[in-house]
Structures are given as C-alpha cells and as structure tokens.
Amino acid sequence: MKQKLISSVQIILLHAVTVMGLTGQSYPGKPRIIRCRSLEKETFSCWWKPGSDGGLPTNYTLFYSKDSEEKIYQCPDYQTSGPNSCYFDKNHTNLWTTYNITVMASNEIGNNSSDPQYVEVTYIVQPDAPVNLSLETKPSAGIMYIWAKWSPPPLVDVSSNLHVYYYELRLKTEEKEEWETIPVGVHTQYKVISLQAGAKYVVQVRCKLDVGEWSEWSSERFIQILNGQSPPDKPTIIKCRSPEKETFTCWWKPSSDGGHPTNYTLLYSKEGEEHVYECPDYRTAGPNSCYFDKKHTSFWTIYNITVKATNEMGTNISDPHYVDVTYIVQPDPPVNVTLELKKPTNRKPYLVLTWSPPPLADVRSGWLTLEYELRLKPEEGEEWETIFVGQQTQYKMFSLNPGKKYIVQIHCKPDHHGSWSEWSSENYIQIPTDFRVKDMIVWIIVGVLSSLICLIMSWTMVLKGYRMIAFILPPVPGPKIKGIDTHLLETGKSEELLSALGCHGFPPTSDCEELLIEYLEVEDSEDQQLMPSHHNGHPSKNAKLTPKETDNDSGRGSCDSPSLLSEKCRESCTVPSTLQTQDVRKPQENKEGKRSWETQCIVLERKTLPFNNESTKSSTWPAAQLLNNQAPIFAYHSTVDAHKLTLNNTNANVAPFLVGNEEKQQSQNSITETVHDDMEKQREMENLPSKAGQTTMQVKQNRPNDKPPFLNPKLMDYVEVHKVRQDEQPAVLLKHKENSGKNGQYTVPGTSKEYTKVSTVVDHNILVLMPDSRIQHTSVSQEPAKETSQDLQQGQAEKNVSYCLTAPSECKRETSGSDYMDPSSFMPSFK
C-alpha cells in the first residue's frame, strides 16, 4: 500500500515537475514546410519554418516517402540549401514521383510533426533569374536599338548546363508605368528596336525551363538613348523664285540633323516625265539652295521638287513642291534712280524721276514686261504714299512741298503673274525752295493790308464798341417808372429827364431832324473838331458831349442821344486821318493803276460805289478790300491830280445820286479818264447837270488850283458853325479859319460862308453843303443860331466849296419844300 502511495506521489511529483517544466520548456511547436523548389529539374530543396521551439534546443528531421511506398526516408542533406532546408540531390530526385514530406521537430520533452506536403518535382521547377544582363546601344541601318545580353542562372552543378532555358525580356522608359514584355527565346541576347531618342530605358530578363514556372526577373539595368542619335527631321522647301524669267532658284530650310552631319539632295521631275533628276547646281545661289540655269529651266511645265535629308541614322524626305516657273517671277528692284529738276518757262518747275529696269530683266525683247510703282514720304513722315506708275520708267512730280526733304523708293513686278520686287534703296529728294519775288510782294501787300484792316477794325471797336455791344447785347431795359429818375437827374441831361417824365415835345430833342440840324460837323483839319450842339432851351454845351454808355429805354425811339451822334462823327472824321498818313507812305508806282483814294469822311456803313468797283482793276489792288467799307481813299502826288481825283470822286458820288437816270457807265468812264483829262472833265461835269435837268448843284472846277475840293483832306478845314439861320433863306453859316495848307487860296479870314445848299449826300450820312455865292458876302449875323436842318436849300453855286454834314443815319429826313432836294430819296439808293 505504502509503495503504491509512494509511486503515485512520485508520479504526482514528476507531473508537477513536468508541469513546472512546461512553463519554460515544452515540446516543440509544429514546423511548417514553406516551399519546395527545384532549380533545374534534377535536384530540389525544401524549406520549412520551425514552430515555437519550446525553450529547448530542437532538432528537425525531414521524413519523406515516395509515391505510395511505405518506406520513409530521411533527408539526405540538411546543409546545402541552408538552415531549415533539405536538399535532395540528383540521386534522390525522381521527376515523376510524388514525395510525401514531413518535418518533425523534436526536443527533450517531445516532438512535433508538420503536416505532410505532397511534392511533385515537375511542378516546383523554377530556375533562378538570368545574370549578367548587359545593355548597349547600337545604330544599325539608321535606327537605334538596344542590344541586351545576359547569362543563364548559375548552377551548382556545372554539368547540368545542358538545359534549355526560355527567356523573356521586359523594358520600359523611366516615365512609363507599363512594361513592354518581349519573348526572347532561347538566346541570351536580344536587340530592342523602336526606341525613343533621348529616353532612359530599364531592362530586365527572366527565364524558364520547359516545365515549371518563370524565374524571377533579373535585376534592373538602365540605358540612356542619346539624343542625337536619330535620323534627321523632314526638311521643308521655302520658296522658288525666278529673277528674270529665264532661270530660277529654290531654297529649302534644313531640319534638325539628329546629331550627325546631314546631307541634302534636291530631286525633281518635270510634268509628264517620269525621270527624276538631281539639282544641277548647289552652289551658285548659296547654301541650302538649288540653282536651275537656262538649260534646265522650262516654262509652262510643272516641276515636282523634293529635298532629301540624309545622315547616318537615316533619311527623310520633304513634301513635294510643285512649281511652274512662269508664275514665280520676282524681279530685282529697279536701278539708276535719278532725279532731275525741270524748269520750264512760264510754268512751275517740277521734278522728273527716272529709273531703269533691273539689269537682268530682258525688257527689250518683250519677254518680260515690268510695271512699276513708287512710294513717297516726307522724311519725318510716317505714312508712305504709293503711286502706281505703269510701264513707263519716268515720273513727273508736281505737288511736292518746297523746302522739304522726301524719301522715294521704286519697285517693279512682271505685268502678269508674279510678285513685287524689293523696294529700291532710298533716294532722297530735296525740293528747292523756289522763292519768287513776285509772290513775296503779294504776301507783303496782303500782310500790310490785313494789318490795316485789323487796325481799322480795332479802332472801330474802340470807338464804337459800346454801340456794337449794345447791338449784340441789347441793354436790359430798366423798369419804366413814371416819375423822376434820379440817375437822369444826376447826369443832368435835362432833356432826357424830361422825356423820361413823359413829356414829349416839350424839348424838341426827340425830334430827329432837329438833332440833325443841331449837329453839324464840319470837317476840315485833323485836330480840330467842333461839335456845336444847340439845344433849344437847354444850356448848350460846347464841349464835347461825353458819350453815354447806357441808353435808358425811356421811349425815345431810334434817335440816339446826341452823344452817340457826336461820337460817330468824331470817329468818322478821325479815321481818315490815320488812313491818310498810312497811305501816303505807301509807294506809288503806277499812276493809272494804283491810286488809293482817301476821303475825309469815312462812312461806316457799307456801300459799294461804282467808282470803287471800277478802281479795282489789277489783281494786286489792295484797296479793294478796304473799299467795301469805305469810300475811296486816295493819296496823290500833286494837288492837280488831287483836284481832279476829288472831283472825279465827287462826280462819282454825285452822278449816280443826282442824276438818277444817268448811265452808270458814263460816270464810270468819266472817272477812269479823269486823271489826265482836265478840261473834258469840266465839260462833262457841266454836261451832267444839264442832262439831268433837275440837279441844282454844280460841282465846278474853275481852275485846277482853285478852291480846294471838298474832299481834299488837306484843304478841308473844320469850321465853326456860326449860326444856323432860319429864315426865308435858311443857311448855315460857318466861320472859316485861315488855312495854312498847301493851297493858300482860301477864303478871307473872318468871312463866313453861308451854306445854303446841299450838294449831295454822301453815303447817306454826310451832307455835302454848298455855299450860295449870292449871299456869300452878307454879313454874318450874330444871332444865336437856331437849328433847322430843313432850311438848307440848294441853289446854284459857282464855287464848289462844300462841307460835309454828318448826321445819324438812322434818322429819316422829312421832306419839306420844293426847293429841297429830298435827301430821303437818296437814302434808299444807298442801301
């Protein structure tokens, strides 16, 4: 009993120890066979993976059996294939048997077996990858390829190198993802074509035996295809040209040559022929060109031209170019461009541009006909002016600006089918500045006259400016307040004030004619001017009335204030003086043609006297422009002429007015001839009134050197209106001063002349008064003058001293009395 107990206790203790030993040590884990592989069908190896080793050194044993045999063998060789492997050498390897392989792991505690593995050698054949893969690039027949070489996998047993391996190669460029796999066969080398120039390729090979699987891919090999290693690109033909329609040349553009020197050849064939020729001349026309000389040029046939580029890598042919020489003619530019200035008489000079056709073009035989075109541009200009000239080789230019420099160029083209040549080299034309004296004189005269006009205009503006302004910008009418206008009171113009008060008629100042009567302006000398103003019942002012700037609209109507009137008179009388001085300075050459006429009273209204028209004969008559606004101005050499002229002027003024029926021709004729014909004039003048039969005035010239004509500026004098007599014989009495002018013949000082007649009305605001000789010697009465313009009478007068009367033109004149010449009848004729 006790022994049983002791043995069970031992067993228990033993178990316990065993259990204790299991925590650190136990029987090994189960191994696992990873793979079995045969490299060459003659041997094979198996590898296993051990399981956990249980903490104790483990032994592995491989047991195998063949097919269904019972016998179990052990692994013959644990070393050759490495740890945990078993190598079956040739003797132990049968191809057509199935091996049942197990691996047992054993240690001190126990052992463990793997699962059995059935292995058939034929199915586990997998060779190693090929080795020694080498790559080369080689050009062959113009194409680059890679030459890949390798060796079969090495074998332990050299003798078994009789195996036949099948190889496979794959390559790709670096950028690509996909491999290109190429079956190679049994050879250990291969040429790869269809490569990209400049790409880097990666190549691998693998092999396989007749049974089994493919080996692994060999390690990668890289190769770079050099950039320049390629055939040339396609050349292109640029153009073909014939300069003279007898030969032609073709040029091509070379292509990139692929790294090697490239040869170009040009081949052509003609229309209708099969034969292909090569370019006859590569040199004459320069590099990359082909020159066809006369022998090789045919017209009206189409050439088919191609260019071939060749280098070591290969060749490339351009696209064909079809050309018919007739249509590709482009001549050289014209030559010998010359200029000639031609100066024909009586005409403006002009330029003739001549040139010659280009030297090669055969224009003389008519084979080639050229048309020309030229272009012009001033040197600083931007735009060219193109002129088509046609087939002539010269061109006349008329319209160029003198003094400027021009650039001119010519080019030509065949008259049919062809292109324009290049422009000839620039030719410069310098137009001479043809400065003719005659032109200059014209310009000087024009300049002087325009400055005169400007002066006159400015004077007019200054003196009558306010009136113009009033015309343009009529004054804003103030309120019509009945009552006393303090402003008027201040200025002291009583008549206006009273008229503002609405009293019409009390001061007869609102009567225009009375105004006319009042203001007699007798113009005589430049500096003296008397402006008598008589106001009925008002304090007279001998001083010049200051012009009023404003004009109150107080219902006075069109009659302006006396100030305006006086101002106007002043203006008119001062202007001639300035004109006179200027004109005298002007050189007078031609008596007949160029006389400038000057009147004392310059009328500001427009009026074209027939005289004026007549006098504007020559084209350089500068006075013509002035005369529109003024009565004829004249300066004169001698007083004799002056008399005549003034007389003529008078006549001219007179004739149309007085003698209404008089033909204008006659008066004009009389004017034109007057200069030299004194006596005739007189006769004529005397005749004129008789013809008319109504005039009462005479403009007589007793002696050439007699009384100064009324329009003589030097002899006219400003005189004081002594009085205006208003009686049965109304007259205007004037005081004369002694005139120390040229013609000393003047009235006795102190004597006053009575002017009773209106000889004429000049320019509808100048009354020309004439004295009545009969009453001339009557004494001057000292009565205060009264104003009545209506009292002026006309009568026969021997002497033709007359004075101007200026009057406001707007005012109408009343007709009164049969003796009167009704000035209003003249008024319309002026307008």
Partner 1 sequence: CHTSGMLTPNGKEYAQKIPREELTQLILKLLQAWKEPLSHFNQHIEHHQELPDDSLSKAKQISNMVHELKTGVEKSMGIISNSLNGMESSEAAGLSNSNEANMMSDSDFIHCFRRDSNKVQSYLKILKCRIMPENSC
User: What are the backbone angles phi and psi of residue 357, rounded to the nearest 5°?
Assistant: -65, 160
CA distance 154 to 131: 8
Our CB check for partner 1 shows the closer of 336 and 829 to be 336
Our CB check for partner 1 shows the closer of 339 and 363 to be 363
Collapsed DSSP state (helix, strand, coil) of residue 806: strand
Our CB check for partner 1 shows the closer of 2 and 364 to be 364
Nearest-approach distance from CB 285 to partner 1, in angstroms: 19
Q: Where are the alpha helices (DSSP H) in 475-561?
A: 486-491, 494-500, 512-518
Nearest-approach distance from CB 371 to partner 1, in angstroms: 11
Q: Going by C-beta distance under 8 Å and a sequence separation of 6 or more, which residues neighbour residue 285? A: 249, 251, 291
Nearest-approach distance from CB 297 to partner 1, in angstroms: 7
CA distance 495 to 644: 46
CA-CA-CA-CA dihedral for 502, 504, 506, 512, to nearest 10: 140
CA distance 258 to 475: 97
Q: Going by C-beta distance under 8 Å and a sequence separation of 6 or more, which residues neighbour residue 512? A: 558, 559, 808, 811, 812
Our CB check for partner 1 shows the closer of 220 and 362 to be 362
CA distance 692 to 760: 14
Nearest-approach distance from CB 372 to partner 1, in angstroms: 12
Q: Going by C-beta distance under 8 Å and a sequence separation of 6 or more, which residues neighbour residue 729? A: 756, 775, 791, 793
End-to-end CA distance of the chain: 183
CA distance 207 to 184: 9
Our CB check for partner 1 shows the closer of 362 and 426 to be 362
Q: Strands 44-49, 32-37: parallel, antiparallel or unpaired by DSSP?
A: antiparallel
Our CB check for partner 1 shows the closer of 180 and 293 to be 293
CA angle (272, 275, 278) in 5-degree steps? 120
Our CB check for partner 1 shows the closer of 191 and 416 to be 416
Q: Using CB atoms within 10 A of its CB, is residue 211 exposed (0-12), middle (13-18) or buried (19+)?
A: middle
Residue 469: strand pairing partners: none
CA distance 560 to 518: 13
Collapsed DSSP state (helix, strand, coil) of residue 43: coil
Binding site for partner 1 (CB under 8 A): 245-246, 272, 294, 297-301, 324, 326, 362-367, 369, 391-392, 416-417
Collapsed DSSP state (helix, strand, coil) of residue 218: coil
Our CB check for partner 1 shows the closer of 365 and 619 to be 365
Our CB check for partner 1 shows the closer of 391 and 618 to be 391
Q: Strands 720-725, 427-430: parallel, antiparallel or unpaired by DSSP?
A: unpaired
Of the CA atoms within 13 Å of residue 231, those in its CB half-sphere come to 19
Nearest-approach distance from CB 233 to partner 1, in angstroms: 33
CA distance 698 to 749: 25
Supply 305's token pair: 């031209």
Our CB check for partner 1 shows the closer of 283 and 294 to be 294
Nearest-approach distance from CB 363 to partner 1, in angstroms: 7
Nearest-approach distance from CB 303 to partner 1, in angstroms: 12
Collapsed DSSP state (helix, strand, coil) of residue 808: coil
CA distance 632 to 463: 21
Nearest-approach distance from CB 247 to partner 1, in angstroms: 10
Nearest-approach distance from CB 236 to partner 1, in angstroms: 25
Residue 599 contacts residue 630 (beta carbons within 8 Å): yes
Of the CA atoms within 13 Å of residue 97, those in its CB half-sphere come to 15
Our CB check for partner 1 shows the closer of 108 and 324 to be 324
DSSP 8-state symbol, 539: -
DSSP 8-state symbol, 473: S
Our CB check for partner 1 shows the closer of 327 and 420 to be 327
User: What are the backbone angles phi and psi of residue 151, rounded to the nearest 5°?
Assistant: -125, 150
Nearest-approach distance from CB 245 to partner 1, in angstroms: 7
Residue 85 contacts residue 75 (beta carbons within 8 Å): no
Our CB check for partner 1 shows the closer of 245 and 464 to be 245
Nearest-approach distance from CB 353 to partner 1, in angstroms: 18
Our CB check for partner 1 shows the closer of 222 and 322 to be 322
Q: Using CB atoms within 10 A of its CB, is residue 632 exposed (0-12), middle (13-18) or buried (19+)?
A: buried
Nearest-approach distance from CB 295 to partner 1, in angstroms: 9
Nearest-approach distance from CB 252 to partner 1, in angstroms: 25
Residue 671 contacts residue 595 (beta carbons within 8 Å): no
Our CB check for partner 1 shows the closer of 332 and 822 to be 332
Nearest-approach distance from CB 365 to partner 1, in angstroms: 5
Supply 621's token pair: 């008559």
Nearest-approach distance from CB 298 to partner 1, in angstroms: 4
Nearest-approach distance from CB 331 to partner 1, in angstroms: 15
Our CB check for partner 1 shows the closer of 248 and 636 to be 248
Our CB check for partner 1 shows the closer of 160 and 297 to be 297
Q: Using CB atoms within 10 A of its CB, is residue 63 exposed (0-12), middle (13-18) or buried (19+)?
A: middle
Our CB check for partner 1 shows the closer of 245 and 725 to be 245
Nearest-approach distance from CB 420 to partner 1, in angstroms: 19
CA angle (600, 601, 605) in 5-degree steps? 145
Nearest-approach distance from CB 356 to partner 1, in angstroms: 13
CA distance 595 to 588: 7
Q: Got the DSSP string for 119-166?
A: EEGGGGB-PPPPEEEEEEEEEETTEEEEEEEEEPPP-SSGGGTT---E
CA distance 120 to 127: 16
